[in-house]
Amino acid sequence: MAAATVSDAMYVLMPGRKHYVPKIDVRPLKGKGVAVSAQEDMPMGHFILAEAPIFTLPIVRGQLIILGALMQCEPEYQTKFYEFFNCWDETEEITKELGIFTTNAIPCGGDITSGSLPDKEGIFFFCSRINHSCKPNVHVQWVDWVHQIELRATRDIAYKDELCRSYIDLLQSRRRRQQQLMEKYWFKCRCEACSLTGAELDASDNRRRTVRDTLDRHFGGKCKDAHEGLREIQHALDCIDKEGLPMYEAVLYFFGFHLCAASGDCDSAIQWAIKAREAYVRMSGYALDELLERLANDPLCYPDANTMPKKTLTGPDSPLWRRGLEEASQDT
Ligand SMILES: C[S@@+](CC[C@H](N)C(=O)[O-])C[C@H]1O[C@@H](n2cnc3c(N)ncnc32)[C@H](O)[C@@H]1O
């Protein structure tokens, strides 16, 4: 396939940002088809680009729906669509159009400010060409009111590094991740996390499971023991740090805020809200900035404030938590 150039479509794909040209390159890469790489150093949190979908489809879709959506695209985009990679090509299990769509679709729709989940998937000229890693260096965020995705760096990226996003839930063991990638995208992942062996692999699998369990235990304000809950959250944050998965940080900090505000400890709640805000802005831009700033200024305006027994807790990463964690790891 011919390499795409950045100048190809920026005018059309980035309404309102006509003069913005992201510093990326799309070229063939051995063993991966085409790949996207950085054309400048990009520090963690760096905004790389915003991109509107060529078209989107509901999550439940079929051949007729996809043909209908394609027919509504400009002829130029219909041609571009057929240039995308189709990992189902050799299987002949599904039609060409569905194969291309399924290989390249990125979840979108849903609104981070209201907490609604993605309800569709879209094809994107650049972002759909980004390959997968289980320790990705970029994060894609759908921004509903502008109908675009935004791409940001999740760690420091050096000039010429390949950009990699995640196609799947990363909080699973390597065995499950590889199984899913093979079933859905027909490739064996050889990323840094998948290349671990022995004790290092076990430790990585355990850390990812710990984070998943912590998220499950805290969603919807389910955790009722504030002290134990904060300890779990801090441990999960350490796991995330070791796994290099900062996109899960903000929600964990927010759970810390919830426990402190619910327990009436405003000082600690403020510290957790500030960290949640910093993490959201780094990964997802300014969507929740105002809300989190309001909570950091006045935790008592949070609807769940003072709904648990009153307690004095601690902020994130306080020496107290560090000591508690060290003692816990000596105990086990
Ligand atoms: C969304 S496309 C990504 C762009 C694709 N490389 C291309 O040539 O257009 C997904 C496909 O890229 C390939 N791919 C993505 N990540 C990969 C990786 N880490 N290692 C090998 N192949 C990968 C797989 O064939 C997968 O089905």
Ligand 1: does its nearest atom lie under 6 Å from the Cβ of 77? no
Helix/strand/coil percent split, the chain, to 5: 45, 15, 40
Contact 125, 4 (CB under 8 A): yes
* CATH number of the domain that residue 32 is part of: 2.170.270.10
DSSP designation for 332:
-
Contact 194, 166 (CB under 8 A): no
Instruction: Tell me: do 220 and 318 sit in the same domain.
Output: yes
Ligand 1: does its nearest atom lie under 6 Å from the Cβ of 140? no
Instruction: Tell me: do 174 and 211 sit in the same domain.
Output: no
Look-up of token digits 């999740």: 154
The pLDDT score that the predictor gives to residue 15 is: 44
Q: How many CB atoms lie within 10 A of CB 74?
A: 10
Quick check: is 190 in a domain?
no
Among 162, 185, 208, the domain boundary falls at 185
Q: Give phi and psi for 255, each to the nearest 5.
A: -60, -35
pTM: 0.89
Quick check: is 163 in a domain?
yes
Q: What is the pLDDT of residues 202-245, one digit of tens each?
A: 999 999 999 999 999 999 889 999 999 999 999 999 999 999 99
The pLDDT score that the predictor gives to residue 22 is: 81
> Does the pLDDT value for residue 325 go beyond 80?
no
> Does the pLDDT value for residue 331 go beyond 80?
no
> Does the pLDDT value for residue 252 go beyond 80?
yes
Q: What is the pLDDT of residues 291-300, one digit of tens each?
A: 999 999 999 9
Ligand 1: does its nearest atom lie under 6 Å from the Cβ of 131? yes
The pLDDT score that the predictor gives to residue 168 is: 97
Ligand 1: does its nearest atom lie under 6 Å from the Cβ of 132? yes
Across 54-58, average pLDDT? 91
The mean pLDDT of the chain is 88
Instruction: Tell me: do 180 and 250 sit in the same domain.
Output: no
- Range of weakest confidence among 98-102, 280-284, 318-322, 328-332: 328-332
- Which domain range does residue 238 map to? 198-331
Q: What is the pLDDT of residues 266-322, one digit of tens each?
A: 999 999 999 999 999 988 888 888 899 999 999 999 999 999 999 999 999 765 555
Instruction: Tell me: do 90 and 21 sit in the same domain.
Output: yes
Instruction: Tell me: do 204 and 59 sit in the same domain.
Output: no
- Farthest-apart Cα atoms in the chain, separation: 65
Of residues 107 and 114, more confidence is placed in: 107
> Does the pLDDT value for residue 248 go beyond 80?
yes
Across 112-122, average pLDDT? 84
Instruction: Tell me: do 259 and 300 sit in the same domain.
Output: yes
DSSP sequence for 67-117: HHHHHTS-HHHHHHHTTS--TTTTT-SS-HHHHHHHHH-EEE--BTTTTBP
Contact 127, 183 (CB under 8 A): no
Which residues, listed in sequence order, are joined to residue 36 by a DSSP beta bridge?
26
- Closest ligand 1 atom, residue 132 Cα: 16
Identify which of 259, 304, 303, 255 has the alpha carbon closest to the alpha carbon of residue 275.
Answer: 255
How far does the centroid of ligand 1 lie from the alpha carbon of residue 31, in Å? 9
Q: What is the pLDDT of residues 154-191, one digit of tens each?
A: 999 999 999 999 999 999 999 999 999 999 999 999 99
Instruction: Tell me: do 158 and 244 sit in the same domain.
Output: no
The pLDDT score that the predictor gives to residue 237 is: 96
Quick check: is 211 in a domain?
yes
Ligand 1: does its nearest atom lie under 6 Å from the Cβ of 34? yes
Atom 21 (ligand 1): residue with closest C-alpha? 32
Predicted-assembly ipTM surpassing the 0.90 threshold: yes
At 130 the three-state DSSP class reads: coil
Identify which of 78, 52, 83 has the alpha carbon closest to the alpha carbon of residue 66.
Answer: 78
Split at pLDDT 50, 70, 90, the class of 93 is confident
> Does the pLDDT value for residue 118 go beyond 60?
yes
Split at pLDDT 50, 70, 90, the class of 12 is very low
Ligand 1: does its nearest atom lie under 6 Å from the Cβ of 86? no
The pLDDT score that the predictor gives to residue 330 is: 56
The pLDDT score that the predictor gives to residue 111 is: 80
The pLDDT score that the predictor gives to residue 5 is: 39
Ligand 1: does its nearest atom lie under 6 Å from the Cβ of 174? no
Question: How far apart (Å, rounded) are the C-alpha atoms in residues 36 and 160?
Answer: 9
| Residue 57 parent element (H or E) | strand 55-58
Among 185, 211, 227, the domain boundary falls at 185
How far does the centroid of ligand 1 lie from the alpha carbon of residue 99, in Å? 13
Label residue 215 exposed, middle or buried (CB < 10 Å: 0-12, 13-18, 19+).
middle
Instruction: Tell me: do 176 and 226 sit in the same domain.
Output: no
Question: How far apart (Å, rounded) are the C-alpha atoms in residues 194 and 173?
Answer: 9
Of residues 331 and 160, more confidence is placed in: 160
Instruction: Tell me: do 168 and 23 sit in the same domain.
Output: yes
Instruction: Tell me: do 34 and 124 sit in the same domain.
Output: yes
The pLDDT score that the predictor gives to residue 116 is: 83
Instruction: Tell me: do 161 and 294 sit in the same domain.
Output: no
Query: For a pLDDT cut of 70, what percent of the chain falls above it?
Result: 89
Atom 10 (ligand 1): residue with closest C-alpha? 103
Instruction: Tell me: do 204 and 180 sit in the same domain.
Output: no
Number of domains in the chain: 2
Quick check: is 285 in a domain?
yes
Quick check: is 193 in a domain?
no
Ligand 1: does its nearest atom lie under 6 Å from the Cβ of 221? no
Look-up of token digits 């390249």: 104
How far does the centroid of ligand 1 lie from the alpha carbon of residue 131, in Å? 5
Contact 282, 237 (CB under 8 A): no
The pLDDT score that the predictor gives to residue 284 is: 86
